[in-house]
Each structure stands twice: as C-alpha cells, then as structure tokens.
Chain A
Amino acid sequence: MSTAKPPAQEAAQVVDAVLADLPRHRGVVVDSPPGAGKSTLVVRAAGHLAATGDPLMIVAQTNEQVDDLIVRLAEEHPGLSVGRLSAADYAVPRRVEGKAAIGTKLPDLGDPAVVVATADKWAWAGGRTWPWAIVDEAYQMRSDKLLRVAGLFERALFVGDPGQLDPFSVVDGERWAGLSWDPLQSAVAVLLRHNPDLPVHRLPVSWRLPASAAPVVSEAFYPFTGFRAGTAPGERRLAYTADGMRTAYDHALEEAARSGWALYELPSRHTVRTDAEAVQAVAVLATRLLQRAPVAFSERGERPVTADRVAVGAAHRDQVAAIQAAGLPEGVTVDTANRLQGREYDVTIILHPLSGRRDATAFHLESGRLCVLTSRHRHACVVVARAGIPELLDAHPSAETVQLNVPVKFPDGWEANQAVLAHLSKHRVEAAPLR
C-alpha cells in the first residue's frame, strides 16, 4: 500500500475505478473498512448510474439505513427523483419528509429515477426488472435475502464492510455447510463463490477512525488488506473544557483524549455477564465524559461533543439493559455490537466482551464483534474490562470444528483479540476501588 499519495487522492482513484468497472461487469464488489466512505460511494454511484437515464434500485438492510441514504441522496443530488418503498406502518421521520415519494407499492411512487427500500421490502416488490442495483451493507445481508431480490436486477454494485459481524440464524445450518449457496453466508460470499471473476475493490482510507485507531483496527481485523486513516496524527484532538477530579475515571478519559484509547481496568474477577462494577464504571465514564464538556477539533472544525455523539457498546442485550438501568446521560446511545454496525460517534465507551469471563466462547471471540465495538469513533474509545483477559485467551482451548469446502474466515478471533489487547495495554488505567 503506497502512502505517498494524499489519502483523498488515493480514495478518489478507487472510486473512479469502481465507477469505470460498473458497465464492464455484471457485479462489482467494494469492500469498505469502517468509515471509509461507503455511503459517499453509494450516493456517488447512484448519481453516476442515474445520469445514464437507467432506473436504479437501492437495497439497504434496515429502515434507518434507507432513511440515511435518502437524506444523503437529497443532499448530494437535489435534482434526482427518489422513491421509498416502505411498510404500511412506516412512520416518516422528519429528516426524510419531502425528500422522497413514499409508498407501499411501486406504482404509488410515480416513476422516480431511484427507488430505495430494505431487502425485506424489495422481496415483495416484483413486477419489473431493473438494469441496475446498488446493494448496501452487503456483508450483513444474508445470502437467502439476496436470493429473494437478485431476480429484480440485471447488474449490481455490492458495498459493505467485510470486517463486521457475519449474518446469523437461530437454527443450526450445518446441513448447508460447504454449499456454494449456503443460505447462512453473506450476500457477498455467495456472489463471489459463483462469480469468482468479479472485480473486488477496496476503499483504502478510513475517514472516521483517527490516526490513533486506523492502524490498530487495520492490523487486528483487516490483516491482509489494510487501510489507513484519512487524517494525520495530531489532526484530530479531543479536549475537556471542564476540570476533572483526578479520579481514575478522569485519568482514563484524559488518556483517551491524549492517545485515542484507554483501557479502564477493573480488578480480575469472574463475574456474571451483567457485572455490576463494570456496568457502573461504563455509566460513570459516560457521565463524567459529558460533565467534562469535551470539545472535538478536527478537519470539520471545532465542535462540542454532545450526548448524541457518544455511544456505549456491549456484546449482550442484558448488558445493554443493565447499563441503561445504571443511568446514562440523556441522549447517549447504548446498544449491542450488532445494532451499532454502520454507526459513527465522536467518543465510544465499550464493555469488553471478554470482561469477567472465565472461558471464551465462539460468540465472545467473534472478531466482527470486537471490530464493530472498536471502530465506531472519530476521536477516542474507552474500553472497560476486568484484568485477566490475556490469561483467559492464553488458556483458551482450541477445539473448533472444520467443515469441508467452507472458506476459512480471517482474521481469527483469538488473534484479533490479542492484537487489540496488546495495544490497549499501553493505555491502561487501573480502576479506583469502588467503595
């Protein structure tokens, strides 16, 4: 990877190459690491394709993603007519009002140049085929969902982040393991296994992750492809305008402001999943962070970090509920890794998935989970964990089974966890005794 070119130029060249490839191939895949301008690419490609006069369908995975895309499309291409297919009980958010024709069926929309809907909604559309489609968040889309909509389009651009969480199911899918059309793999996986010659591009620059985080996330979770930060070290800065109280919480927040990372480490102990001390530490850190009135300096200028720019992440729903119950400042987002995918904040505070565990399960070790949690921030990430995770990883038995003809997934969760932990150990702040 050449670092001689300015990041913006390097990224622009990839986008140009993607657009140039579109008419030449039936499908084009773009891998986008966290914050690498995936939405920008989608919006740009949408404008590019719409300019040819061909109608375009855009497939997203959640209603929120559909709404986000419509807002972005309206901003970038104000002249473009956009339609939104939605369920009957869809409540139009304010930000979307007036920006798209909204209807439950295609005929209700008139004949817009671009129609956006969730994969679930598209599956019911039918009735016509589209020369072009853009499939957004294609690595989070399950293969069986693509099967329900792929008949609608002739050619498509697939965009997504390969490092995040794989789609999953509550049922055991062993019987399909090894099949090239295994319905439980991702849409991109099924596409590439049947069409191995399709071009795969990679967006090379993360505009979200700061220079302190991009190399860490890149090495741990994207070991073979890699990416770099769009900003140089020192270009992003986090400062507090209110004084601290020299508590361990303040030390952790200051370390995070200084270096982009902090590991707030509680004493080693095996706990229940909703470890009260860890949960409380997360809540106090979020509260203290906002009390310190942080200001973010970046290429976008100087902005106060308000509650809506702060997120708290955890692995399990009960942990999220416990953190909520512990009392977070109004407006701070708290959610599981699954639901934080694709989101961006200035500062994140996360409860390490392995904190307090005695044994790591495949769920805890899944690299995508830690990747999502450690790659949502523009400025700093504070990780709350109990000491002892290195020992846990060291003692982890390796007994995973192997299915024939199933491509091996990288990175390995163990290695990714180890890499992140090695980095965090340099930013360790020992928790103060609670009582």
Chain B
Amino acid sequence: MDPLDRLRGPVPPRPHDARAIAALAANPGCARRAVLDAAGIDKDATATHLGFPAPFGQSPFAITRGNAFEALVKESGCAELLRMLRELLGLPIAQAAYTDLGDVGGNPSAHLRHSHTRGLLDRAARDRDDAGTLYDHPLLRLEIAGQSAYLEPDVVAFQLGGRFHIIEIKSFAVVDGQAEPDKVAAAARQAAVYVLALRNMLQELGHDPGRVSHEVVLVCPENFANRPAATLVDVRRQLAVLRRQLARMTRVGSIVDALPPGLTFDLARDADGAPTRPVAELREAVRGVGARYAPDCLSTCDLCLFCRDEAAAEGSTDLLGRQVRDALGGVATVPEALGLADGSLPPGEGQEEIARLLRLADRIYAEVS
C-alpha cells in the first residue's frame, strides 16, 4: 500500500484546486502540512474533528458578488472581455471568436472535459492562422505528487500571433490603478498554476510551452463601478515559486519514510460520513508529524488553531511570531528565554550571547519601567 494512501485512510484523496496548489508555498518548512497535502488529506475535516475548526469563512455577499461579476464579464459571449483584450493585447475584433469548452454535453467526467480542452487547444496551437479566440470553461490538469489535479481557469485567451494568455476574473476592485496587494498576489499565484498547467499541456502535445505568456490578464471591477478593467500581471516569480514547491512535494517521501509504520490520519468515517476516530488518537497521530507554526498560518492553513494550541502548550516562542523568534536568536521556548533573561537559567552552549542580550534587556527594562 502506498504510504500516502495509508496515511489518508480509505477515502479518495482530496483534489487540489489552484488555490490549494498556490497555498503550498505558504509554509514550506512545515512537515505536517507537507505530508497532509501530499496525501490529499482533508485538513478542514481533520481540524474540525480535532476540535479546532478552521477560522475561515466566506461571506455569502462576497460569493454572490464574485459570481455576478464573472457573469457580467462573460455576458454575451464575453463581449466585454473581448473589448478589453482588444485594447490590452491587440486582439483584432473582426477575427475574435468565442469557444465554450465546457459545452461537452451531458454530465461529463473531468477526464472527458480535459480531453476535450486538450483536443481543441491542440488544434488551436496547430492552426497557424491569426484567429484570436477566447476559450471559456477550459479544464487543465497538473500532476501533484503523483495525482492529477483538474483545474478550471476562468478563461484562456488565444491571442493573435499564437500566444496564449490566462485570464483571471476577480471581483476585488482596482481603484485608481491600485488594488489590495495581498489579493493581487493571491490571484497571481493562482494564475501561475494555470500557466504552468497549460504550458505542460502544450509541451505534451509537442508545442512550444513558451507560447503561454507569463503575463496573465487580471480582470477586476474598476473604481466603484461594475465596469471591468483588465491589467497585465507578470507571474514569472510566482511560476518559479510554484515549480520549486511542486518539486518539493515529490521529496515529501523522505519525511513519510521516517514516520512510524502504523501512523494514519484516517478519520474512520461511518456509513453517513461522520468521523468515528477517537479524537485523542487522531491528536496523537497528527502530533506525530512535526509542525512549524507561525502566526501567518492563521490565514493560510486549516490546521492553524490546532497548531497554535500545541505551540502554546509547549511554550514555543513561535507563538509570538517569526520576528520575535529571530530577535531571540533561536531560543525555542518562552520559559527558557525568560530564564536566560532573569539569570535563573545558565546559558547552554551557544546561548551565551543571547543570554547576555536578554539579561541586559531585563536590566534596562527594570531600570526604566
């Protein structure tokens, strides 16, 4: 049995979507997360069963708004989108066409839809006439740690001159040319996943992967209106990070090999899907793989509250943030750092310096406060 399957238990691996793949780089130093991700384990369900449900939620207003905006952009065969692309990429209006790749009929499997996308894009790449075409509802595929992840970019545009551009539609606003930097970053990371998947596909088909542009088109509402505006975003850096993380995923094996042979994160779901695994047992299992908690996890990982609780119980200085930990010269626990500061703990080897600094801080603090 594949060790990753054993870790996950008898449930299908949770499919990775582009957002999940983009999030792989959020904390690559965390072995716990790497193992759970590689095994395709449902971290949200795991966290909930452990009693630490993920503190994320999306407002229905945001979801409605996102859908409404995407619908608006794609209205009448992406008419609005074509208008913007004409300006941004020089897509000639007369020749622009629209193809809905989702139009396969019936209720097709992801595999079938992907083949359809693959076939049509292969033809498009082969076809050297200058027709600019918008491809809606494409389905791409990316291999993640030996599993196929199917990915659904918003639109792929095929531009004049044979270059493909990924189009990412987001409902956050661009006001006077600026948007919230973390939202743009998230969009860029996600778009980079599509760029890579499309490049891989072209390569498999024998085309030049460089025909997929590293400049993606970000479509957002402009200022305070519903009117969409397009901006080119260069995702080369995100692509480099993504490649690194995917390469790391294949190396997760060395962590897995070092785990105790019987270890599993199986939730032991009953016939109704309710987890029956004793919580204490699951907790021990999860603790069997070391985490590297940082406060940034609170916005990026489903398990964050569990790991924070664990770090607090261990008195880990990680709890206070990377900068504090760095300022403490790597002293791992709060009692240790405090002991060094008040002199009650003699410094261990290599701790003389931070001990001196902490004692000085302690003295000055006492002197002035």
A residues adjacent to B (C-beta < 8 A): 174, 177-179, 269-272, 274-276, 356-359, 394-405, 407-408, 410, 412, 414-415
| Sample of 6 more A-B contacts, CB < 8 Å, known A174-B181, A271-B329, A408-B236 | A272-B354, A396-B28, A397-B26, A403-B184, A404-B179, A412-B240
Q: Would you mind naming 16 contact pairs between A and B with Cβ atoms under 8 Å apart?
A: A177-B178, A178-B177, A269-B350, A271-B350, A272-B354, A359-B325, A395-B292, A398-B26, A399-B185, A400-B237, A401-B185, A403-B181, A404-B177, A404-B184, A408-B236, A412-B240
Whether the Cβ atoms of A401 and B181 lie closer than 8 Å is yes
* Nearest B residue to A397, CB-CB: B27
Tell me how many residues of B have a C-beta within 8 Å of chain A: 39
Contact call B28/A404, Cβ cutoff below 8 A: no
Q: Which residues of A contact B357 (CB under 8 A)?
A: 272
- Within 8 Å of chain A (Cβ to Cβ): is B233? yes
| A405 engages B330 (CB within 8 Å) | no
**Contact among B28, B179, B182, B240 for A394, CB-based, below 8 A:** B28
Interface of B is mostly: helix
The distance in angstroms between the C-alpha atoms of A241 and B234, with both chains bound, is 53
Q: Are B178 and A395 in contact (CB under 8 A)?
A: no
Smallest CB–CB gap between B273 and chain A, Å?
33
Name the distance in Å between A178's Cβ and chain B's nearest Cβ: 5
Flag if B330 contacts A269 (CB, 8 Å). Answer: yes
| Cβ of A414 to closest chain B Cβ, rounded Å | 8
In the complex, chain B residues 267-314 whose Cβ is within 8 Å of any chain A Cβ: 292, 294, 296, 300
Within 8 A of A (CB), among B169-227: 174, 177-179, 181-182, 184-185, 188, 218
- Report B-chain residues with C-beta under 8 Å of the C-beta of A269: 330, 350
A402→B189 CA distance, assembly (Å) = 10
The A-contacting residues of B in range 70-119, CB under 8 angstroms, are: none
Residue from A178, A272, A410 in contact with B353 in the complex, judged by beta carbons closer than 8 Å = A272
Cα distance A271–B325 when bound, in Å? 10
Chain A CB within 8 A of B252 CB? no
B231 contacts the other chain (Cβ, under 8 Å)? yes
Instruction: Give the most central of A394, A402, A415: most B CB within 10 Å.
Output: A402
Q: Which residues of B contact A177 (CB under 8 A)?
A: 178, 181
Is residue B248 contacting chain A, with contact meaning CB distance below 8 A?
yes
With CB as the reference atom, state the residue of chain A lying closest to B231. Answer: A404
A396 contacts across to B, CB distance below 8 A: 28-29
Q: Which residue of B lies closest to A357 (CB)?
A: B326
Contact assessment for B184 and A275 in the assembled complex, using a CB-CB cutoff below 8 Å = no
Q: Does B130 contact A (CB under 8 A)?
A: no
Report if A399-B237 is in contact (Cβ < 8 Å); known contacts: A177-B178, A404-B174, A404-B231: no
B241 at the interface (CB under 8 A from A): yes
Q: Give the chain B neighbours of A275 by CB distance below 8 A.
A: 353
Q: Say how far A71's CB is from chain B's closest CB, in angstroms.
A: 42
Tell me whether B182 and A359 are in contact (CB under 8 A). Answer: no
Count chain A CB atoms within 10 A of each CB in B245, B300, B330 and give the residue with the most.
B330
A359 touches B329 (CB 8 A): no
Query: Which residues of A have CB within 8 Å of B296?
Result: 397, 399
**CB closest residue in chain B, given A271:** B329
**B143: which A residues are within 8 A, CB to CB?**
none
Q: Is the CB of B178 within 8 A of A271?
A: no
Check A405 against B177 for contact (C-beta < 8 Å): yes
Interfacial chain A residues near B144, Cβ < 8 Å: none
Q: Give the residues in chain A near B184, CB-CB below 8 Å.
A: 401-404
Q: A275-B353, A358-B322 are in contact. Are A415 and B231 (CB under 8 A)?
A: no
Tell me the nearest residue of chain A to B241, going by C-beta: A398
Q: List chain A residues, Cβ under 8 A from B327.
A: 272
In angstroms, Cα B297 to Cα A399, docked, is 11
B347-369: CB near A (< 8 Å → 1, else 0) gives 00010111001000000000000
Identify A395's interface contact among B28, B182, B236, CB under 8 A.
Answer: B28
Residue B160 is within 8 A (CB to CB) of chain A in the complex? no
Contact between A397 and B330, CB atoms less than 8 A apart: no
**Distance in Å from the Cβ of A86 to the closest Cβ of chain B?**
41
